[in-house]
Each structure stands twice: as C-alpha cells, then as structure tokens.
Amino acid sequence: MIRASRDAIFQAYVEIGKGSALFIAGLLLAAIAVLRPASGALYLMPALLAAGKLPRWQGVVFSLSCAVISLYQMGFLPPAPDGGRILFALVAFTGSGLFVYEHTRNRLLTEELRGQVQREANLRRDAEEQFRVLIESSPAAILTLDSSGSVLLANEAAHRLLSSATVSIVGQPISRYLPLLADALRTPAARFFRTSMQCRGQRENGDAFFAQVWFSTYATVSGPRLAAIVVDSSEDLRDREEHELHQLLSNTRILVCAVSHEIRNFCAAIAVMHANLGRIPDVSLNPDFRALGSLVEGLVSSCISSGTTVC
C-alpha cells in the first residue's frame, strides 16, 4: 500500500508541467521565507520539487540558491559565517537535488522502457496471431519437423490431408506419410535446402496420393529443422495423364487417316490397272481375274468406310 501511494505521488508529480512545478516551487520558497524563515529543512521542499523538472545544472543552481537563502535566513552567512554549516548545507541541498533529478530521470526511463516493452509485446502477439490465422486458414498443408523427423506443427489442412480432423499428427514421424521429407533431414548439417519436389505420399488409412512439396531446412539451437508446404496433386496428375492420352489418340487418328488415304489411293490405282487388263480379249473370262476384281472392290470399300469412321 505504501508503494502504491508512493507511485501515485510520483505519477502526480510527473504529470505536473515544468512551468507549473517551478511556479509552485517559487511560491513555496517565498512562503517559507516569510512564514518560517529560520526553518532550514523546509527549504529542501522547493529545491526537491524543482530539481526533477530542470536539467541537471539548472537543478544544481536552484538547489544552491535554496541553500544560500536558508543559510542567510538562519544567520550562518557573513558577518558571522559558519564554514562547517555552510559546507554541510551546500552539500545536502545539492546532493538532494541531484538525487531527485536522477531518481525522476530513472523512473521516467523505466516507465518509457516498460511501455516500449509492452508495445513490442503487443505487436509480437498481434504478429503471432496473424501468422497463426494465416497458417490455420491456408488450404495447403503446412508442416514443421524437428531433427528426428517428428511433426512439431501441423495446420488443419495437414491433418485433413494426412490423417483426419480429429486425429492429431503432431509428434508422429513424417516417414509414415512423406518418407522423402525425412530423408532430407538426414543430409549433412552444412547443407540447407530451399526447393520443391514431387513424391508419393500415404495417408493414415493407407491411401496413396501424389504430393507436390515445397520445403526448406534451417538450423536452430536444437538442431536442423524443416518447414514444408504440401499439396495433393493427384487430380492434377490424372488431368495431365488424361490430356496426354487425348493428345495421343488425336495423333493416332491423324496417322490412321493418312495411312487410310494412301491405301485408298493404291486401291484406286489397282482398280484402274484391273480395268485396263479387262480390255484384253478373253482375260475377263479368267476366274482369277474376276476374283482379283472382287478383292480390289472390297479393299476400296473397306478403306473408304474405315477412313470415314476414323477421320
């Protein structure tokens, strides 16, 4: 309670402006000089009141002035000087003023530093909260691993990707889900990765998926650690494979159309030659010649139908 009262008095003193404090000190000095001129100890009050509001040298001058007035009012100055009392009063007033000045200055610096520390703590807390919200709201899985390959931090997306929203993977070895990440931590400590890779992943229930991973390793006092962003690229892989299959089918269709067109041209040439041979007397009566004509007509019909269907 005494400390609280002292702090309240000091706070009230700090809130008083410099002009107001000097004005009060001057009135107090004048009142003491008029009402209790021989009370030397009372002259310390205006000296202490002004010392905390003035620069160091001005406070010393004001304290010495109060000491001189006190000695004069008590009759210790010429024509009947008392050297011991004069020296004691000067040292006492000057020392008290310097003590108040340094104490006030130190308290103000302490309050300023305390406020600065509090502001930095608030800023740090806000930054941590924003960082936490950013991680938790990310649709990509974010993981942090320790030197042994165990999961230190995992956001909600990481739990949905690797396990489930109700089962935590924190503390579990990453080798159960992404073995290549565990291998990255086993490299020499001098090597640091900032790269991406594609690898096979496995969920808690045994389902495999194709993972796209961006990760980096960094050093701490507890050993190397790894931070990774993981995305399930299985759909992208299927889309890419499907696109490549469609492209292959399109190229195959073009090739078949070209071959069919060439075969049709050859068949047309054979049909013309067959017709020319048919003009030779008695050749048309040959059964092999008639069979050759039937084969040519069937081949031409097949080429035309197949080419129309494919192309």
Say if residue 111 is in the same domain as residue 45.
Answer: yes
pLDDT tens for 120-138 read 999 998 888 888 888 888 8
- The answer to whether the CB of 40 falls within 8 A of the CB of 71 is yes
pTM over 0.75: no
pLDDT tens for 220-243 read 888 888 899 998 887 776 777 787
Say if residue 66 is in the same domain as residue 41.
Answer: yes
**Domain termination site, one of 210, 232, 254:** 232
Domain encompassing residue 106 = 2-120
Instruction: At 131, list the tokens.
Output: 């960082």
**Dist. CA 22–CA 20, nearest whole Å:** 6
Q: Residue 1 has what pLDDT? A: 53
Report which of residues 124 and 33 the model is more confident about: 124
The three-point CA angle 79-85-89 to 5° equals: 115
Say if residue 100 is in the same domain as residue 190.
Answer: no
Q: Residue 229 has what pLDDT? A: 92
Give the mean pLDDT of 82-102. 70
In a domain, residue 127? The reply is no
> Which region, left, alpha or beta, applies to residue 199 given φ > 0 means left and ψ of -120 to 50 means alpha?
beta
pLDDT tens for 271-307 read 777 777 777 776 667 777 777 777 777 776 766 666 5
Report which of residues 69 and 160 the model is more confident about: 160
In a domain, residue 129? The reply is no
Say if residue 252 is in the same domain as residue 220.
Answer: no
Say if residue 226 is in the same domain as residue 256.
Answer: no
Say if residue 270 is in the same domain as residue 167.
Answer: no
What total number of domains does the chain contain? 3
Say if residue 110 is in the same domain as residue 170.
Answer: no
